[in-house]
Amino acid sequence: MLAGENGAGKSTILKILAGIYHADAGDINIRGEKRKITSPEQSQHAGVAMVFQELTLIDELTVEENIFLHTEPRNRFGLVDRKVLRQNTLAAMDRFGIHLDPGILVSRLPVALKQMTEILKVLVREPEIIILDEPTSALASQEVQRLFTIIENLTSLGKSIVFISHRLEEVFAIGHRVTVLKDGKNVDTQPLQGLDEGGLIRMMIGRSLEGTYPAKTLTPNTETVFTVRGLTSSDGRLNNISFDVKRGEVFGIAGLQGHGQSDLLTTIAGLKAYNTGEMSIQGEPYHASHADEAISKGVALVPSDRKSQGLMLDLSVRHNAAISSLSKRLKGIFIDLPAEKQFVQQTIDMLSIKAPNMDSPVHTLSGGNQQKVVLGKMLALHPKVILFDEPTRGIDVESKLEFYQLMLQLAADGVAVIMNSSDLMEVIGMCDRVLVMYEGRVSGILTKDEMTEETIMRFAMGVASQDTPAGNAS
Amino acid sequence: MIKKNDNKMHFWQRNSHTVLIFAFLAVLMIIVSLFSDSFFTERNLKNLVLSAFPLLMVALGQTLVLLTGGIDLSLGAIVSLTNVSCVTLMNTESSVGWIPALAAAVLIGVLCGGLNGLIISKGRLAPIIVTLATTTIFEGIALFVMSSPGGRVHSGFRQFFIRGINGYFPLIVSIVVVLLVRMISNQSAYGRHLRSLGGNETAAYSTGIKVDRVKLIAYILAAVLAALAGIYLTARMNSGDATVGKNYSMNAITSSVVGGTAMTGAIGDPLGTVAGVFIVTIINNMLNLLGASSFYQFIYQGGILIAALSLSALRRQK
């Protein structure tokens, strides 16, 4: 287990092991033998394999073609021997306990199965040491369980696993020993037995956080700030969704991956069309068929994938933070640059964004800080409804806590706060109520008292359901 | 946290390429002046502006389009089309006979750019393919309008364009257009939207930017600037030619990229493009003076484009 905040140096260490970066000093010993790793090739030779956070699969090829890419079995004409390819794939799947349809195009797989393919691709090269960089950040809890089973299987085959995670419960669930990094230095390595979450957090941030989730000081009242009735999309991803968000509450959306949670948020934000249904914000009817319409009516989405949906990575912090609210700082037809500078500085201070300066390209920031830039951009709109899609995916514990506090602050200010998360602990820790989705429908709306991981899972898997969801009287 | 008052560093971070490219231009000019005593004379510098003018207009337009992450290969054909239309529609008898011709040329620019922009934004098609196709359409129409070079140009119009305000008219227009384009790209909300598209179109859309409209306007602006080049060439050549614009598309891309505009969009500065235009023009003139065949000019232009692209790729890797 390797843990630490964003920017602590975890990825750097891994990239050195994988031969992408070079170490200036220090030794790498593998099985007691000193190894020099200065290229990805040497790394592979030394038996190190890495599963990156970003997937490296080719969408247009099938699962088996991806797994044996560059090492395809050839027949005597030098062409790919499909029969042997299939046999080898099935054999590997059996051996490592990962079962997929070998002939399906990768583009048709959900993220979780793509990840399985990626892992299998690494495993067939028979590495001794397997490095997994935040493999669970895109997975729902049930899929995480599956991954853990695979990992246990691998350790029983005598392989060593280095596992990076931001989810503390995972560290405890699967790890034997943990090494914590901070600011590029080794904090400590400890066996996980006898360590608790609080202790681990203290190691990571160098001080103790009161808890992973901030205490709520406000109880939601009965005033409704946002209403959805019978939302149904033509592609069948959403089916008759109804719910209300009360003033002061954080409203959660949960469910297994691919049951329509993200679709619900993007539909509300005007990025996807819907067939029937009505929405209203603070009593005013609301409809948006384009993103700009949604934004002008006070609905802001903090998207799940900040890199592809939220940020212009090559452009500056300043550009990204100011882009949504340009019209508020115009002098004639031109932008009031000093006012913009001041505004960006305020955003940076308010969200404590760590960046070299405001003209640095956003891609130079760490994940947590990038996410804060996205948030800052949306907050500048003073939204009435703010939608968070997996807001804390891949960001460090401290930034997470700051995010949570901000959410509560927004809710207290009367903004309808809706959060979709596949991290059940986060849902339980943060949300006053949670809407659980199953196959595009509302399978239940649970109150704080009813929320446990188990009940949420029961609703998410369609085992339990409420005929008339709570809080929906119409 | 961000330290305040490190303005110098900010300036450098934002403008390093532009400063470097102007330094390169200065070095180039000094080198050229070593070979030619008359280089730094008023007359020669005026001539330099005169010969750079059409490329400057087209390159500024190309820069705007490149910032969106797109490309417009048809700008050269728009130069040709507006040139022949302007000549054809000119009434040389009347003293105001050039006004409808000018208006028509600008309108044709708007229509051509509008066509490019509409197909690219509404059709969700790749700009490089769309403008490749419209290039042949515009070239075809230009040849249809004027199949062989010729025509007559209103003399008052010509005099004013080339010699007006002591011969400073083209220079004044250049400065005004450069400042305008720079203010649009760097200081207006529209310019920010333009760059956002090049930075990440999906993110730009979900931030509420009207992506289609921003694109459409970019292609129209570029085509209108190309129309200005076409009008100017009408005055300078004193005739029309349906192939006059042929090399401008390519040279405009070279100038923009040499000037620091990224082919991938978002990053670039019209001021850098100005330097790029003069670098390309001066090297061309130099080759002319040395009596190099125009074939060599094509070869060197391809070379300089590859060099500029490699440089910007290297910068990105850092």
Cβ distance B267 to A359 less than 8 Å, yes or no, reads no
pLDDT at A217 (0 to 100): 64
Q: Is the distance from CB of B223 to CB of B110 less than 8 angstroms?
A: yes
Cβ distance B200 to A324 less than 8 Å, yes or no, reads no
Task: Give Cβ neighbours of residue A167 (< 8 Å, ≥ 6 apart).
Answer: A136, A423, A425
Domain finish residue from A205, A220, A243: A205
pLDDT at A161 (0 to 100): 87
Handedness of CA A269, A275, A278, A284 (dihedral sign): positive
Alpha carbon A151 to chain centroid, angstroms: 21
Comparison of pLDDT for A129 and B127, the residue scoring more = B127
Q: Is the distance from CB of A286 to CB of A280 less than 8 angstroms?
A: yes
Give B52 to chain A, closest Cα distance, Å: 29
Pairing of strands A385-389, A299-302: parallel
Pairing of strands A276-281, A250-255: unpaired
Comparison of pLDDT for A133 and A434, the residue scoring more = A434
Asked if A192 and A217 sit in the same domain, the reply is no
- For residue A446, what are the β-bridge partners? A434
A77 at B interface, C-beta within 8 A: no
Q: Is the distance from CB of A6 to CB of A366 less than 8 angstroms?
A: yes
Give B168 to chain A, closest Cα distance, Å: 28
pLDDT at B3 (0 to 100): 44
Sort out which chain B residues have CB atoms less than 8 A from A355's CB and list them. Answer: 2
Phi, psi of A170 (to 5 degrees): -70, -40
Over 80: is that where the pLDDT of A203 sits? no
Q: What is the DSSP string of A76-128?
A: TTSSB-HHHHHHHHHHHHHHHT----TTSBGGGS-HHHHHHHHHHHHHTT--S
Comparison of pLDDT for A468 and B132, the residue scoring more = B132
Asked if A158 and A20 sit in the same domain, the reply is yes
Asked if A399 and A283 sit in the same domain, the reply is yes
Residue among A301, A309, A314 whose CB faces B267 most closely: A314
pLDDT at A366 (0 to 100): 82
Average pLDDT of chain B? 88
Over 60: is that where the pLDDT of A468 sits? no
Residue listed under structure tokens 């004044």: B172
What CATH number is associated with residue A26?
A: 3.40.50.300
pLDDT at A472 (0 to 100): 42
Cβ distance B200 to A335 less than 8 Å, yes or no, reads no
A292 at B interface, C-beta within 8 A: yes
Per-residue pLDDT tens over the stretch B190-214: 999 999 999 999 899 988 899 999 9
Per-residue pLDDT tens over the stretch A183-194: 677 777 878 777
**Local confidence band at A4 (pLDDT 50, 70, 90 cut-offs):** low
pLDDT at B316 (0 to 100): 62
Domain finish residue from A337, A354, A375: A375
Cβ distance A314 to B210 less than 8 Å, yes or no, reads no
Q: Is the distance from CB of B55 to CB of B225 less than 8 angstroms?
A: no
A92: in domain: yes
Per-residue pLDDT tens over the stretch B255-306: 999 998 988 888 899 999 999 999 999 888 888 777 777 788 778 878 887 8
Asked if A241 and A126 sit in the same domain, the reply is no
Asked if A143 and A185 sit in the same domain, the reply is yes
Compute the average pLDDT of residues A124-150.
Answer: 80
Amino acid (1-letter code) at residue A338: P
Phi, psi of A336 (to 5 degrees): -80, 95
Compute the average pLDDT of residues A451-468.
Answer: 76
B22: in domain: no
Compute the average pLDDT of residues B19-26.
Answer: 88
Amino acid (1-letter code) at residue A84: V
Using a 10 angstrom Cβ sphere, with 0-12 exposed, 13-18 middle and 19 or more buried, the burial of residue B294 is exposed
Asked if A261 and A176 sit in the same domain, the reply is no
Provide the domain count of chain B: 1
A377 at B interface, C-beta within 8 A: yes
B9: in domain: no
CA-nearest residue to B192 within chain A is A323
Over 60: is that where the pLDDT of A208 sits? no
Sort out which chain B residues have CB atoms less than 8 A from A310's CB and list them. Answer: 203, 206
Asked if A95 and A190 sit in the same domain, the reply is yes
Asked if A388 and A337 sit in the same domain, the reply is no
| Domain around A329 | 311-375
Over 70: is that where the pLDDT of A62 sits? yes
Provide the domain count of chain A: 3
The CA-atom distances, in angstroms, between A436 and each of A121, A433, B97 are: 34, 10, 73
Per-residue pLDDT tens over the stretch A304-352: 888 888 899 889 999 999 998 888 888 888 999 999 999 999 999 988 8
**Local confidence band at A7 (pLDDT 50, 70, 90 cut-offs):** low
Sort out which chain B residues have CB atoms less than 8 A from A358's CB and list them. Answer: 2, 10
The CA-atom distances, in angstroms, between A463 and each of A83, A141, A451, B269 are: 41, 16, 15, 59
Q: A with B: how many residue pairs have Cβ under 8 Å apart?
A: 99
Q: Is the distance from CB of A466 to CB of A443 less than 8 angstroms?
A: yes
- Look up residue A194 and give its DSSP letter: T
A421: in domain: yes
B211: in domain: yes
CA-nearest residue to A337 within chain B is B187
Per-residue pLDDT tens over the stretch B140-194: 999 999 988 888 887 788 888 888 788 789 899 999 999 999 999 988 999 999 9
Q: How many CB atoms lie within 10 A of CB B129?
A: 12
Average pLDDT of chain A? 83
Which residues in B213-231 are b (16+ Cβ under 10 Å) and which e? ebbbbbbbbbbbbbbbbbb
B194 at A interface, C-beta within 8 A: no
Residue listed under structure tokens 């400065």: B175
**Strand order from edge to edge, sheet including A433-438:** A299-302, A385-389, A416-420, A250-255, A433-438, A441-447
Sort out which chain B residues have CB atoms less than 8 A from A359's CB and list them. Answer: 10, 13-14
Among the listed residues B187, B211, B180, the one whose alpha carbon sits nearest the alpha carbon of residue B69:
B211
Strand ranges (E), A222-335: 224-232, 241-246, 250-255, 276-281, 284-286, 299-302, 330-331, 334-335
**Local confidence band at A469 (pLDDT 50, 70, 90 cut-offs):** very low
The whole-angstrom separation of Cα A459 and Cα B18 is 59
Give B204 to chain A, closest Cα distance, Å: 8
- For residue A420, what are the β-bridge partners? A253, A389
A264: in domain: yes
The whole-angstrom separation of Cα A45 and Cα A137 is 28
Q: Tokens at residue A22, please?
A: 């070079």
Sort out which chain A residues have CB atoms less than 8 A from B198's CB and list them. Answer: 312
Cβ distance A357 to B183 less than 8 Å, yes or no, reads no
Q: Tokens at residue B187, please?
A: 């200081």
Cβ distance A301 to B10 less than 8 Å, yes or no, reads no
Asked if A158 and A273 sit in the same domain, the reply is no
pLDDT at B6 (0 to 100): 54
**Local confidence band at A285 (pLDDT 50, 70, 90 cut-offs):** very high
Handedness of CA B177, B179, B181, B184 (dihedral sign): negative
Pairing of strands A177-182, A33-35: unpaired
Asked if A40 and A129 sit in the same domain, the reply is yes
B180 at A interface, C-beta within 8 A: no
A12: in domain: yes
- For residue A254, what are the β-bridge partners? A436
B79: in domain: yes
Residue among A326, A345, A359 whose CB faces B192 most closely: A326
Asked if A291 and A423 sit in the same domain, the reply is yes
Sort out which chain B residues have CB atoms less than 8 A from A352's CB and list them. Answer: 1
Among the listed residues A278, A237, A240, A281, the one whose alpha carbon sits nearest the alpha carbon of residue A387:
A281
pLDDT at A342 (0 to 100): 93
pLDDT at A473 (0 to 100): 38
Longest dimension (CA), chain B: 69
Residue among B13, B188, B196 whose CB faces A335 most closely: B188
Q: How many CB atoms lie within 10 A of CB B15?
A: 15
Cβ distance A335 to B189 less than 8 Å, yes or no, reads yes
Across A211-220, A377-386, A399-408, B308-317, which has the greatest mean pLDDT? Answer: A377-386
Comparison of pLDDT for A459 and A7, the residue scoring more = A459
pLDDT at B10 (0 to 100): 66
Cβ distance A310 to B206 less than 8 Å, yes or no, reads yes
In a mutational test of the B interface, the residue from A21, A289, A323 whose CB has the highest number of chain B CBs within 10 Å is: A323
pLDDT at A36 (0 to 100): 76
Give A374 to chain B, closest Cα distance, Å: 10
Compute the average pLDDT of residues A402-426.
Answer: 88
Asked if A94 and A178 sit in the same domain, the reply is yes
Sort out which chain B residues have CB atoms less than 8 A from A295's CB and list them. Answer: 207-208
B201: in domain: yes
Any alpha helices (H) in chain B, and if so which ranges? 7-35, 42-67, 75-88, 99-122, 127-145, 155-167, 169-187, 189-199, 201-206, 211-237, 248-258, 270-289, 294-317
B127: in domain: yes
A175 at B interface, C-beta within 8 A: no
**Alpha-carbon Rg for chain B in angstroms:** 20
B123 at A interface, C-beta within 8 A: no
Task: Give Cβ neighbours of residue A190 (< 8 Å, ≥ 6 apart).
Answer: A177, A178, A203
B61: in domain: yes
- For residue A331, what are the β-bridge partners? A334
| Domain around B112 | 40-246
B273: in domain: no
A306: in domain: no
Cβ distance A334 to B204 less than 8 Å, yes or no, reads no
The whole-angstrom separation of Cα A251 and Cα A419 is 6
A349 at B interface, C-beta within 8 A: yes
**Alpha-carbon Rg for chain A in angstroms:** 24
Domain finish residue from A181, A205, A229: A205
Interaxial angle between packed helices B169-187 and B189-199, expressed in degrees from 0 to 180 and rounded to the nearest 10: 70
Give A333 to chain B, closest Cα distance, Å: 6
pLDDT at B2 (0 to 100): 43
- For residue A250, what are the β-bridge partners? A417
pTM: 0.78
Helix (H) or strand (E) holding A206: none
